[in-house]
Chains A and B, each alone.
Chain A
Amino acid sequence: MSARRRVGSVLVYAFLAAYTLFTLVPIYWVFVTAVKPAEEVVAFPPTLLPRTLSLEHFAFVFTKTRLGQGIVNSLIVAGSTTVVALIAASLAGYAFSRFRFRGRGVLLGSVLGLYLIPPLISVIPLFLLFNKLGLLNSRVGLVLAYQSLVLPLLTFLLRNYFDGIPTEIEEAALLDGCTRLGVLRRVTLPLALPGLATAAIFAFILAWNEFVLALILILSDDLKTVQLVIMEFVKLYRIDWGALTAAMVVGMAPVLLFLIVAQRYLLAGLLGGATKS
């Protein structure tokens, strides 16, 4: 029995090791290419470990390309998307959690339905609509369009979070003469801070990573987000893999940073949106 157990353990750890390799190798290959000097990037056969380290590609992408501008654009768009979504979703999440009002079930169901229906459906009409309204090729338009990606998810996430906060404290504040909105601002929101952090991180990452809507709605070079700038490397320079991988490292840095410093919130968000309905 114990020998069989040990064989089982070995198999389990071999499997975990293999899957870790599968997960990390493509990312490793990007990172390692980014720090190879240009001639080693196209050395044949490719070198698993760089013979010499070089930051030339990073210097190139930050000085000779629009990557810096792209980062600024992405920060503006993802930051605004997060703020707008957080305000709208926390108000709605609070209402869904604390009030039993007529139409509540139908509204909640529709929001869940919108979460299930793919944003793909609205890509064509959004393009046509924004074209009519003059919102094509503008950051405001992109931030509005991104609400379709983040709002249903955030509303559910925050409603679930508010559900977990006991109502007694709020009732005490109400009895003390606070208004409903005063209670929300002074009592509930501070208690919901971890939930709000989860929601904010999630919205930011979704908006930072998005590229299909940006590709369709953004036309001019100076408004391109990071993801679109990375795409440009392929068209402009054929494929300069050294520069492209360096830009990719920069593009995924914020997301990986969130994973390292705010893992708990990130995991809560990944699960909160999908498991509770």
Chain B
Amino acid sequence: MAHDNPATTDAESRNARGGLPGAHAQRGVLPFPVFLRRAFGERWLPYWLVLPMLALLFSVTVFPFLWNVWVSLQDLRSTNILRGAPFVGLRNYWQLLHDPLFYHSLKVSLYFVVGSIVGQFTLGLLIALIFHRRPGAARLLRPVFIVPWILSAIIIGYSWIWMYDYNFGLINAGLRALGLPPVRWLNDVTMAIWALVIANIWRGTPFTMLFLEAALKNIPDELYEAAQVDGATGWQAFRHVTLPLLRPAVAINLILVTMWTFNLFDTILVMTQGGPANATLTTAMYMYNNAFKYGLFGYGAAITLVMLLINAALALLYLRTVGRATTT
């Protein structure tokens, strides 16, 4: 990783090899067999230290992931889960490629991701820039603005269902007060996805805000002073100092948020479950419905693996961007 600090590495690697005398000299309580002493010595210590973490992660993410590949090659359903499911090879994937609902879900996901990101990024960048210039406002408002980001999907989902309620919701009350006709937000085929996008902008903007604010803090003040000495106006300093230096952080932020938004389905599950008439059926929601509503685990597993491919492409983009950001 990028952080390897040449000043400390030397001393640390000496420690890692057990080079410090007396490190365990006083621990001669019992005459351990030599191999045991070696196994618990300094050389192997880091492996023992990472073992619990790796064992846990292996059993709850890596192993299930590998099993997922196997499941996706079977016609596993809730009805044959006890008897054992027939192996069907790539049939789930073949079926997926000819599934019009899958393509529909990709389109809905695209709307959801693009809408959310445009909103979250514009608002997040604006607030980050304002907070960076006005620390007083930042101290006061930052804790308020991050509230939606730390609430649970259940709370977020029901809060917005209540806001969007046709009769008693605050939004329609506002529309009526202005003499406008009320809208059936979550029950309307064209409005529902945008209603979800608004709720998601509400939820996700704080992350982009915090992320870009941290990135702005990393831009050294001397650069602005130099720009000022050279007679740059505020806008010119923003255009020629802030923006170019912010670009790597922006790229990382956009990729991370794209992945999260594409995979997100908790609030959708609470608010619309993909309805009305599949208008909010994102790919992640379609996976959930197939596996846990219709009990088609094999088909659902195939969808998650196709989603994983899309994620992997985005992650590669992410790692390449991070790599470029740290080397330049």
A residues contacting B by CB (< 8 A) are 12, 15-16, 19-20, 22-27, 29-30, 33, 41-42, 44-46, 84, 87-89, 91-92, 94-96, 98-101, 104-105, 107-109, 111, 113-114, 116-129, 131, 144-145, 147-148, 151-152, 155, 163, 167, 171, 174-175, 177, 179-180, 205, 208-212, 216, 227, 230-231, 234, 241, 244-245, 248, 251-252, 255-256, 258-260, 263, 266-267, 270-271, 274-277
The 19 sampled A-B contact pairs (Cβ below 8 Å) are: A16-B130, A20-B144, A26-B202, A29-B163, A30-B162, A45-B176, A91-B50, A95-B45, A98-B16, A109-B1, A111-B53, A123-B288, A127-B297, A128-B81, A148-B57, A167-B8, A251-B154, A255-B151, A260-B143
Contact mask for chain B residues 137-155; partner A; CB cutoff 8 A; 1 contact, 0 none = 1000111111111111111
Interface residues of B in 62-82 (CB under 8 A from A): 62-65, 67-68, 71, 76, 81
Does A98 lie within 8 Å of B12, measured CB to CB?
yes
Interface centre among B1, B23, B150 (most CB of A within 10 A): B150
Alpha-carbon distance between A271 and B8 when the two chains are bound, in angstroms? 25
Stretch of B94-102, B183-191, B299-307 lying at the A interface: B299-307
Chain B interface extent, by class: 35 or more
**Among A20, A25, A99, A127, contact of B16 (Cβ-Cβ < 8 Å):** A99
User: Is B39's CB within 8 Å of the partner chain A?
Assistant: no
**Among A212, A248, A275, contact of B159 (Cβ-Cβ < 8 Å):** A248
Does B27 lie within 8 Å of A179, measured CB to CB?
yes
Does B265 lie within 8 Å of A270, measured CB to CB?
no
Task: Point out the residues of chain A lying under 8 angstroms from B152, CB to CB.
Answer: 208-211, 227, 251-252, 255
**Among A123, A148, A171, contact of B291 (Cβ-Cβ < 8 Å):** A123
User: Is B277's CB within 8 Å of the partner chain A?
Assistant: no
Given contacts A23-B145, A174-B23, 19 further A-B contacts (CB under 8 A): A19-B127, A45-B173, A46-B170, A88-B53, A88-B56, A99-B45, A100-B9, A111-B53, A114-B62, A121-B307, A125-B68, A128-B71, A177-B23, A177-B26, A180-B42, A241-B162, A252-B152, A266-B146, A271-B214
Q: Specify the chain B residue showing the minimal Cβ separation from A239.
A: B161
**Among A22, A144, A175, A209, contact of B153 (Cβ-Cβ < 8 Å):** A209
**Among B61, B143, B270, contact of A259 (Cβ-Cβ < 8 Å):** B143
Q: A122-B65, A241-B168, A274-B211 are known contacts. Are A163 and B151 too (CB-CB below 8 A)?
A: no
Does A120 lie within 8 Å of B304, measured CB to CB?
yes
**Among B12, B24, B256, B315, contact of A100 (Cβ-Cβ < 8 Å):** B12
Alpha-carbon distance between A29 and B26 when the two chains are bound, in angstroms? 65
Does B60 lie within 8 Å of A259, measured CB to CB?
no
- Report the minimum CB–CB distance from B18 to chain A (whole Å): 9
User: Is B237's CB within 8 Å of the partner chain A?
Assistant: no
User: Is B11's CB within 8 Å of the partner chain A?
Assistant: yes
User: Is B47's CB within 8 Å of the partner chain A?
Assistant: yes
Q: A121-B65, A167-B11, A259-B147 are known contacts. Are A23 and B202 too (CB-CB below 8 A)?
A: yes
Contact mask for chain B residues 4-43; partner A; CB cutoff 8 A; 1 contact, 0 none = 0000110111011000101111110000000000000010
- Report the minimum CB–CB distance from B128 to chain A (whole Å): 12
Does A180 lie within 8 Å of B23, measured CB to CB?
yes
- Report the minimum CB–CB distance from B287 to chain A (whole Å): 7
Does B68 lie within 8 Å of A275, measured CB to CB?
no
Does A95 lie within 8 Å of B57, measured CB to CB?
no
Task: Point out the residues of chain B lying under 8 angstroms from A145, CB to CB.
Answer: 60
Q: Specify the chain B residue showing the minimal Cβ separation from A41.
A: B168
DSSP class of B's interface residues: helix, strand, loop or mixed?
A: helix
Alpha-carbon distance between A29 and B53 when the two chains are bound, in angstroms? 42
Does A113 lie within 8 Å of B315, measured CB to CB?
yes
Q: Specify the chain A residue showing the minimal Cβ separation from B133.
A: A12
Q: A44-B167, A148-B57, A167-B8 are known contacts. Are A94 and B49 too (CB-CB below 8 A)?
A: yes
Alpha-carbon distance between A263 and B147 when the two chains are bound, in angstroms? 11
Q: Specify the chain B residue showing the minimal Cβ separation from A212.
A: B266
Task: Point out the residues of chain B lying under 8 angstroms from A208, CB to CB.
Answer: 152
Task: Point out the residues of chain B lying under 8 angstroms from A121, CB to CB.
Answer: 65, 68, 304-305, 307-308
Q: A121-B65, A167-B8, A171-B15 are known contacts. Are A96 and B60 too (CB-CB below 8 A)?
A: no
**Among B60, B146, B315, contact of A148 (Cβ-Cβ < 8 Å):** B60
Alpha-carbon distance between A118 and B169 when the two chains are bound, in angstroms? 33
Does A101 lie within 8 Å of B52, measured CB to CB?
no
Does B52 lie within 8 Å of A92, measured CB to CB?
yes
Does B15 lie within 8 Å of A98, measured CB to CB?
yes
Contact mask for chain B residues 271-300; partner A; CB cutoff 8 A; 1 contact, 0 none = 000000000000010011001100001001
Does A179 lie within 8 Å of B23, measured CB to CB?
yes
**Among B146, B151, B265, contact of A120 (Cβ-Cβ < 8 Å):** B265
